[in-house]
Amino acid sequence: MTEKIAIASDHAGLELKLDLKEFLTELGREALDMGVDNDASVDYPDYGSPVAEKVSTGEVKKGVLICGTGVGMSILANKFRGVRAALVSDVYTARMSREHNDANILVIGGRIVGKGLAREILRTWLETRFAGGRHQRRLDKITEIEKKVNGQG
């Protein structure tokens, strides 16, 4: 079964989103495009939320979000339970976000990162496995904090 990756952007990330969507297909993944489809100005929460929700509920295991800097999308996505969105602008951070933090949403700044580098970041992020071990202990602590903050623990 082909891995589905939910992907969305605002107007500032449209060009990069379209390129990464094509790249996902080249890598044998299915890109679930959740908008936008033109460069008219929009509010990034309207497009980032559906991707974060799909990851949060487990409907998809991974997502990619793109806005101008990536900051807005990363703040938004991390509001969702169980989402670990990582704002990445280099290959090393892409690898570490998966290996140490088991990031399940990759966030890229469409006005910050060029297409070639974004493809390298995405490939590295998709191919890197979570290391577990001491890193799992740390993620468990984050989950407990998340429950406490949300009145569930």
- Crossing angle (nearest 10°) for helices 14-26 and 115-127: 50
**How do the residues of the chain divide into helix, strand and coil, expressed in percent and rounded to 5?**
50, 15, 35
Q: What is the pLDDT of residues 25-52, one digit of tens each?
A: 999 999 999 999 999 999 999 999 999 9
0.75 surpassed by pTM: yes
CA 94 to chain centre: 11
Q: Of the listed 100, 115, 123, 135, which one is catalytic?
A: 100
Q: Of the listed 67, 83, 87, 118, which one is catalytic?
A: 67
* Mean pLDDT, residues 71-85 taken together: 97
Our answer to whether residue 9 is catalytic in this structure is: no
Domain locations in the chain?
A: 4-149
Our answer to whether residue 11 is catalytic in this structure is: no
d(CA 136, CA 142): 10
Nearest to 73 by CA among 116, 29, 16, 123: 16
Multiple choice CATH, 4-149, 3.30.750.24, 3.40.640.10, 3.30.200.20, 3.40.1400.10: 3.40.1400.10
